[in-house]
Amino acid sequence: MTIAENIVKLANRRKLHFSLIDPDKQPPEVAGFMAKTAEKAGSSAIMVGGSTLTSQKQVDETVKAIKRESGLPVILFPSGAKFLSKHADAVFFMSLLNSRNLDYVIREHVKGAHFVKNSGIEPISMGYVIVEPGMTAGRIGEVDLVMRTDIDDAIGYGLSAQYLGMNFFYLEAGSGATESVSDEMIKAVKRNIDIPLIVGGGIRDVKTAREKALAGADIIVTGTTLEKEKNLKQALKEIVQAMEI
């Protein structure tokens, strides 16, 4: 079974939590510790990526440290072809559908496709859309943000991702967002698409995680929480438990 197939299988049974680790934010051994803790807390996968990465070596070293410390699948969440690592298990082969810059829609993919083929890491097709406020990802990704209230726009993107044959759809408010994607938008998109819905950006507490899960998110991604929480295991455990509905 591929990693994507396994995620879909698990997501059909329960809500999933993915932990996002940005190699820019801490040394590899700390990233390894974070992944180990996330696994113990009930997270289902480690995503590795960030919008402001500068070094491929940093990605390699972070992925290797994570693989040493945890048995969770490591899925790259890359901002470009330069930041792939053969040590990962899979890569979100994601198109930033509302970017004005074709690099993020398809050109970086053309550059990175050879690496994916030769390294044997599993490509997981995903439509990626950034909703306001969008934060750094929205700015770097040169995005025409989906407005928080423009539900039809979000549904249109979700359906387009599905009709283009993508396996997952990710609604992103941006790392550190003060407001996460609204429950109304999540509900409406979930009602309209048949592929798993991933939601991230600004989800830092139990209440928000539960609300997003209840609204219809199949997978919730948290990043900032991993960097900021003092008692990480407890904080993540509570978030994962709150998503049980």
Binding mask of the shown chain, residues 19 to 58, with x at each position contacting ligand 1GP by CB under 6 A:
-x--------------------------------------
Q: Report if residue 167 touches ligand 1GP, rule: CB under 6 A.
A: no
Among 35, 94, 221, 240, binds ligand 1GP (CB under 6 A): 221
Per CB under 6 A, which of residues 120..159 are in contact with ligand 1GP? none
Q: Report if residue 181 touches ligand 1GP, rule: CB under 6 A.
A: no
Alpha carbon 15 to its chain centroid, in Å, reads: 14
- Residue 163 to residue 161: CA distance in whole angstroms: 6
Tell me the site size for ligand 1GP, rule CB under 6 A.
14
The alpha helices in the chain, defined as continuous H runs, are 3-13, 28-41, 56-69, 102, 108-119, 135-140, 151-163, 183-192, 206-215, 224-228, 232-242
Q: Report if residue 218 touches ligand 1GP, rule: CB under 6 A.
A: no
Q: Report if residue 201 touches ligand 1GP, rule: CB under 6 A.
A: yes
CA distances from 238 to 22, 188, 201, 207, 225 (A): 22, 27, 18, 10, 12
Q: Report if residue 222 touches ligand 1GP, rule: CB under 6 A.
A: yes
In the complex, what is the shortest distance from the CB of residue 204 to ligand 1GP, in angstroms, rounded to a whole number?
6
Among 122, 136, 176, 241, binds ligand 1GP (CB under 6 A): 176
Q: Report if residue 203 touches ligand 1GP, rule: CB under 6 A.
A: yes
In the complex, what is the shortest distance from the CB of residue 226 to ligand 1GP, in angstroms, rounded to a whole number?
8
Among 37, 43, 175, 182, binds ligand 1GP (CB under 6 A): 175
Q: Report if residue 80 touches ligand 1GP, rule: CB under 6 A.
A: no
Cβ neighbours around 180 below 10 Å, total: 26
Among 80, 202, 236, 239, binds ligand 1GP (CB under 6 A): 202
Find out whether 24 and 61 touch, Cβ atoms under 8 Å: no
φ/ψ (deg, to 5) at 205: -135, 165
Find out whether 68 and 32 touch, Cβ atoms under 8 Å: yes
C-beta of 108 vs 114, nearer to ligand 1GP: 108
Helix/strand/coil for 221: strand
From the list 176, 229, 205, the residue with the least C-alpha distance to 34 is 229
Binding region for ligand 1GP (CB under 6 A):
20, 172, 175-177, 200-203, 221-225
